[in-house]
Amino acid sequence: MRDVNVDDWREVIVWFLLALPAIIGAVAGILGLRRAKANGQHAVQTAEDMRVVREQVENTHTSNLRDDIDVLRDEVRALTKLVTRVDDKASRIGDELRTENKLRRDADARTNGKVDAAIEWATDVIAKHHPEDSR
């Protein structure tokens, strides 16, 4: 290699300008390597994240999750309709039972009144025809 003899500040500037592209290239190379290393780490992390997501999304089912959810939604709707019908029938049965209980109580009251009247009549008859038994 040749000896460089720098005698004044103008030569320093010239040599600096000649070396500047090499310095810029070296700095860019170092920065590029750092960025590539960081991107590589990000790529590895991204690949790991995708593997985790894939494990959660992929499965061995023969049908799509959306199709399964749609089937479940339809079944829930059908069950809701069935429960509504059963509730309506139970309400009607309750109404019928309340009506029947009221009718039975009314009939019991009428029957009790008739029985009380019959007992009173029988007591009067016994007192009239068999006064000795009415004591």
The confidence score (pLDDT) of residue 120 equals: 92
User: What's the token pair of residue 124?
Assistant: 């009067």
The confidence score (pLDDT) of residue 53 equals: 73
**In a structure prediction context, what are the per-residue pLDDT tens digits for the chain, which is 135 residues long?**
567 677 788 888 888 888 888 888 888 888 887 787 777 677 677 777 787 777 667 667 777 888 889 999 999 999 999 999 999 999 999 999 999 999 999 999 999 999 999 999 988 888 888 888 765
Q: At which residue do the structure tokens 């309506």 appear?
A: 88
The confidence score (pLDDT) of residue 73 equals: 95
CA distance 128 to 101: 40
With helix as H, strand as E and coil as C, how does 104-122 read? HHHHHHHHHHHHHHHHHHH
- For the chain, give every domain's residue range: 1-58, 62-135
The confidence score (pLDDT) of residue 33 equals: 75
